Amino acid sequence: MPVAIKGTGGGSVTLSAGAAAADTTLTLPNTTGTVALIASPTFSGTTTVTTLNATTVQVSGNQALNGPVFSAYQSTLQALSAATYTTCIYQTEEYDIGGCYNNTSSTVTLNGLSVPAWCFCPNVAGYYMVNFALRAPQIGEIAPLIWKNGVSYKGGTNVATSGVNNFQGAANAIVYFNGTGDYVSAVVYSQNALNTTTGIQYSYFQACMVRGA
């Protein structure tokens, strides 16, 4: 049954469990001060919310955070020029929950944010695991890098081959996004002129939230 709390200004706040599928406990502190409740991401399962003091709230239990997540891969081979930093093209989306990945060659607006070509720009602030891989069937050397807001941010593993075809480089890092415009792209520096290998298992770009801000 919903509980309505009338405010001094004449309005009221209603507490309702809604269509809850599991028990949820909200514990208020035995202290003086003001406790502010703010909007939070969606959690699933049994969740316990405990206020440790007038300003700190602790959430425990099954915290399945529903944040943006995507996975895309190369379905068309990409030519890499020698001695050049090249933004990797991942044009085919495996999934894009939240619609935060731009799989086009032009800057577009997603969730009210301007997103450059081939970039991931989540509209929810937090820490995200970002990773990508790129494979080439020729002999050569590549250095994969995660770029944030158009600048080199985290480097991956340099891969060089000598007489061996089909080599693959990768980069991964936990990246903070402010939710209001931060974006990342997958970039590779190629020592030689190469063509990439297509396929969901070889050349891919992914990101998912691991915790909120």
Say whether both 79 and 34 belong to one domain.
no
| CATH code: domain of residue 162 | 2.60.120.40
Say whether both 34 and 90 belong to one domain.
no
How many whole angstroms separate alpha carbon 188 and alpha carbon 9? 59
Say whether both 155 and 134 belong to one domain.
yes
pLDDT tens for each residue of the chain, 213 residues long: 677 777 676 777 777 766 666 676 666 666 666 655 544 444 444 455 555 555 555 555 444 457 999 999 999 999 999 999 999 999 999 999 999 999 999 999 999 999 999 999 999 999 999 999 998 877 778 899 999 999 999 998 777 665 556 678 899 999 999 999 999 999 999 988 888 888 888 899 999 999 998
Are 171 and 65 contacting, i.e. CB atoms less than 8 angstroms apart? Answer: no
Are 22 and 6 contacting, i.e. CB atoms less than 8 angstroms apart? Answer: no
How many whole angstroms separate alpha carbon 49 and alpha carbon 13? 18
Say whether both 45 and 96 belong to one domain.
no
Q: Which residues, 6+ apart, have CB-to-CB distance to 103 below 8 Å? A: 72, 90, 91, 92, 93, 96, 118
Number of domains in the chain: 2
Tell me the residue range of the domain where 47 lies: 3-61
Residue that is last in its domain, among 61, 83, 111? 61
Name beta bridge partners: 85: 189
How many whole angstroms separate alpha carbon 125 and alpha carbon 209? 9
Say whether both 87 and 24 belong to one domain.
no
Say whether both 40 and 73 belong to one domain.
no
